[in-house]
Structure 1
Amino acid sequence: MLKQVQRAYNFNAGPSALPLPVLQKAQEELVDFRGSGMSVMELSHRSALYEEVHNEAIRLLKELYKIPEGYHVLFLQGGASLQFSMVPMNFLQAGKSAGYVMTGAWSEKAFAEAKLIGEVFEAASTKQENYKRIPQFDELNYDKDISYLHITSNNTIFGTQWSQFPDTGDVPLIADMSSDILCKPVDVEKFALIYAGAQKNLGPSGVTVVILRPDMLERAAKNLPTMLRYDIHVKNNSLYNTPPTFGIYMLGEVLKWVKDQGGVEGIEQRNREKAALIYDAIDASNDFYRGHAEKDSRSLMNITFTLQSDELEKKFLSEAKKAGFVGLNGHRSVGGCRASTYNAVPVEACQALRDFMIQFQKENS
């Protein structure tokens, strides 16, 4: 019998909440996976049983995200942070530059890594506005002969998100979707490459998903160390070396759960309901709570706000912690508060936070 535990209201920015049914299934299968007498963590990554897990996760992601025929799905390691380097190593061609749209700390990090590899430039930036919004399409400034244009689809620290994506034509569009992948349907065909750390919406930390358009392999550099070459990972179905097998198993189980929720469309509907609960509490507070992001740039995944003073924020966070809320502190670089409402965060947790915010305002106004 599974042990019954009191679950926290988990608003951590990552690693973040996982679906309870997925955790319970993993608990059931932990010691004896599908009658093997072994945990999935003990299986050889060359075994038929693990290969079934691996390929099923790829198939489910392609199905749920409506990934076009021919695109490759890779399970890598090193997090999105390694992709900051792998992308320019593979695709920043000699004699060309790459454009980066600056929307927060993670795009800054990606830009800094690419700068070590070759010539890069800022195609747009809202840094002077403290990253309160996503640039408009007409603010994007780049030539048609660049190697690629890089964006960060959702900005965890500042709570902004691209609601639509630009059509870049022949310029390959590359996106870091670590913190909002699978939160809503996306036209994957717009992108030459998508990468995402799993620890927000896809599973536990340790797995990095890469979705790669097939023609990009022709552009990729071949004079790189083996583990930094996308073509090697494609050729070996992400099994060139030992992959993070348990993480991929968990990712596959999360994808099954997403399918049970009505797919990405069902998840989006629930995410909009969750975010609206908290944003409505902010908007109705008469400036007691102040949202950081401009309304048309608000994130479904990371809701950032401040209170009227540092003292009031400290009191809010202290009382929220006592009430069972976890992870509401804003990022150390910007302060304030942040509720990360990733896919697996239940509606009930967001309702509880909304009610807590309303009650706290009544008691402290």
Structure 2
Amino acid sequence: MVKTTPAARPATKPVAVPANPRFSSGPCAKPPTWTPDALADAPLGRSHRAAIGKEKLRAAIEGTREILGIPADYRIGIVPASDTGAFEMAMWSLLGERPVQMVAWESFGAGWVTDVVKQLKIDASTHVAGYGRIVDMAALDYDQDVCFTWNGTTSGVRVPSGDVIPADREGLTLCDATSAAFAQDLPWDKLDVTTFSWQKVMGGEAAHGMLVLSPRAVERLESYTPAWPLPKIFRMTKGGKLIEGIFEGATINTPSMLCVEDYLFALNWAREVGGLEGLRARADANARAIWDFCDSRDWIANLAEDPATRSNTSVCLKFTDDRITDGAAFAKAVAKRLEAEGVALDVGAYRDAPAGLRIWCGATVETADIEALLPWIDWAYEAEISNA
């Protein structure tokens, strides 16, 4: 593809605008057919312990299993505090039985490292790669527990596959998959603990997390007691046995039935677009439009250095024009200009990440809206580079 230069592009302001300018990486855009009427059947003012509440929660769990193809013998629980709560719950409950390999290539993975090393003080080795790169997953010791992020929401870098994770591992794999679930292939036989939230690919509401446990993870929970006290909100066993109710809809704390109803709508929408295959295809088409845009220009590039590791959901971009002397200020000005025109909301890079743009490409985003946005990035870049 031929790359364009600044002089080859007109500075004319585009006319077409995205129908939905919401490209935030969380909370993400609602499914395109969503309206407030989707929540009309929510059992508001009712106990989540009532029959209707249990039915809704069970439907959310089994709908998740159906769409993601999670094995029947894996437990799925709805837990508090979004993906963060789910992953913290897993670390505090499961780690410490053996040494841990902590893996990080973006800010959230780095946060898990801090929790294990400084808070839990577990015997851990740390493997870190900079933004845009990924750790060599094949070099890890899977006879120890391994904690990693499948898709770096703040770096736009993902694990290309789970092939290097051995089937005969002795340790558990704990995977933060919050911006990968429902958009990327997750090899369930290689994942013992998987966490994600509704607010990413499904465009659900925030504050609820999903925790998926393999039989091996359940065995660990029932055979190992951590050396530290566990707050009630983290406890998944009683008398050395798994509290099965948590994974049947009897949540640890009170869930929002409004949010549950919203998630049930999103699951039904996923069925309408072809299930996981359809969701993945939508995200791939969105990301491909941006990748092609960057490949044809010499002033912007994907933050992911290896195309095999490019995320198809949180696509992170960097400006590469040598004339830019203050990258952070330039990127912020471009994002601000796009927001002022009402064509892209919340597309600045994450605060801890390198300066640039981050455009959410999950399944709830329409490819036509991505395509309408791209000429505006051209325009905003040209407008700002003249001031650089």
Asked if these proteins are the same fold (TM beyond 0.5), I'd say: yes
1:158-237 matches, cutoff 5 A: 158-165=155-162, 166-168=164-166, 169-170=168-169, 171-202=171-202, 203-220=204-221, 221-222=224-225, 224-231=230-237, 234-236=244-246, 237=248
**CA–CA separation in structure 1 for the residues paired with 2:336 and 2:360:** 18
**CA–CA separation in structure 1 for the residues paired with 2:193 and 2:93:** 12
* CA-to-aligned-CA distance 1:126-159 (integer Å, 9 cap, x gap): 1xxx321222333x23262x2x211101111111
Relative to structure 1, the CA distance from residue 296 to residue 54 in structure 2 (aligned partners, 3 Å threshold; closer, same or farther) is same
Native 8 Å contact 1:154 1:179 kept in 2: yes
Q: 1:41 aligns with which of 44, 48, 72?
A: 44
Native 8 Å contact 1:183 1:201 kept in 2: yes
* SS in structure 2 at match of 1:101: strand
The 10-residue stretch of structure 1 (43-52 or 192-201) with the greater mean CA deviation from structure 2: 43-52
* CA-to-aligned-CA distance 1:165-218 (integer Å, 9 cap, x gap): 232332221100111211123221211110112221231101100111133223
* Equivalent AA in structure 2 for residue 268 of structure 1: R
**CA–CA separation in structure 2 for the residues paired with 1:17 and 1:143:** 37
**CA–CA separation in structure 2 for the residues paired with 1:134 and 1:261:** 32
Residue number in structure 1 paired with 2:13: none
Tell me the CA shift for residue 354 of structure 1: 2.0
* CA-to-aligned-CA distance 1:5-32 (integer Å, 9 cap, x gap): x9641111211111132334425x1xxx
* SS in structure 2 at match of 1:42: coil
Tell me the CA shift for residue 80 of structure 1: 2.5
* SS in structure 2 at match of 1:321: helix
Residue number in structure 1 paired with 2:266: 254
Relative to structure 1, the CA distance from residue 227 to residue 313 in structure 2 (aligned partners, 3 Å threshold; closer, same or farther) is closer
* Equivalent AA in structure 2 for residue 229 of structure 1: R
1:130-169 matches, cutoff 5 A: 130-138=130-138, 140-142=139-141, 144=143, 146=144, 148-165=145-162, 166-168=164-166, 169=168
Q: Tell whether 2:300 aligns with 1:289.
A: yes
Native 8 Å contact 2:174 2:194 kept in 1: yes
* Greater RCO (Cα-Cα under 8 Å, separation 6 or more): 2
Please give the root-mean-square deviation of Cα atoms over the aligned residues, in Å: 2.3
The 10-residue stretch of structure 1 (111-120 or 10-19) with the greater mean CA deviation from structure 2: 111-120
Residue number in structure 2 paired with 1:36: none
In structure 2, stretches of 5+ residues that fail to align are 1-17
Residue number in structure 2 paired with 1:99: 101
**CA–CA separation in structure 2 for the residues paired with 1:54 and 1:41:** 14
Relative to structure 1, the CA distance from residue 321 to residue 225 in structure 2 (aligned partners, 3 Å threshold; closer, same or farther) is closer
Relative to structure 1, the CA distance from residue 318 to residue 43 in structure 2 (aligned partners, 3 Å threshold; closer, same or farther) is same
TM-score, normalization by structure 1:
0.86
* Equivalent AA in structure 2 for residue 274 of structure 1: N
The 10-residue stretch of structure 1 (335-344 or 303-312) with the greater mean CA deviation from structure 2: 303-312
**CA–CA separation in structure 2 for the residues paired with 1:68 and 1:174:** 17
Relative to structure 1, the CA distance from residue 109 to residue 195 in structure 2 (aligned partners, 3 Å threshold; closer, same or farther) is same
* Equivalent AA in structure 2 for residue 330 of structure 1: A
**CA–CA separation in structure 1 for the residues paired with 2:30 and 2:87:** 26
Q: 1:320 aligns with which of 316, 331, 338?
A: 338
**CA–CA separation in structure 2 for the residues paired with 1:131 and 1:301:** 16
* CA-to-aligned-CA distance 1:307-336 (integer Å, 9 cap, x gap): 232464344223311332101111122332
* Equivalent AA in structure 1 for residue 352 of structure 2: S
Residue number in structure 2 paired with 1:90: 93
Native 8 Å contact 1:84 1:113 kept in 2: no
Q: Tell whether 2:127 aligns with 1:124.
A: yes
* SS in structure 2 at match of 1:21: coil
Tell me the CA shift for residue 120 of structure 1: 4.1
* SS in structure 1 at match of 2:33: helix
Native 8 Å contact 1:98 1:149 kept in 2: yes
* SS in structure 1 at match of 2:101: strand
Percent identity (aligned) = 20
* Equivalent AA in structure 2 for residue 108 of structure 1: A
**CA–CA separation in structure 1 for the residues paired with 2:87 and 2:54:** 28
* Equivalent AA in structure 1 for residue 196 of structure 2: A
Q: 2:30 aligns with which of 18, 27, 30?
A: 18
**CA–CA separation in structure 1 for the residues paired with 2:340 and 2:253:** 45
* Equivalent AA in structure 2 for residue 194 of structure 1: T
**CA–CA separation in structure 1 for the residues paired with 2:142 and 2:278:** 38
Relative to structure 1, the CA distance from residue 323 to residue 122 in structure 2 (aligned partners, 3 Å threshold; closer, same or farther) is farther
**CA–CA separation in structure 1 for the residues paired with 2:331 and 2:255:** 42
Relative to structure 1, the CA distance from residue 184 to residue 143 in structure 2 (aligned partners, 3 Å threshold; closer, same or farther) is closer
1:304-319 matches, cutoff 5 A: 304-307=316-319, 308=321, 309=324, 310=327, 312-319=330-337
**CA–CA separation in structure 2 for the residues paired with 1:225 and 1:137:** 32
TM-score, normalization by structure 2:
0.81
* Equivalent AA in structure 2 for residue 199 of structure 1: Q
**CA–CA separation in structure 1 for the residues paired with 2:92 and 2:155:** 28
Residue number in structure 2 paired with 1:3: none
Q: 1:340 aligns with which of 357, 360, 364?
A: 360
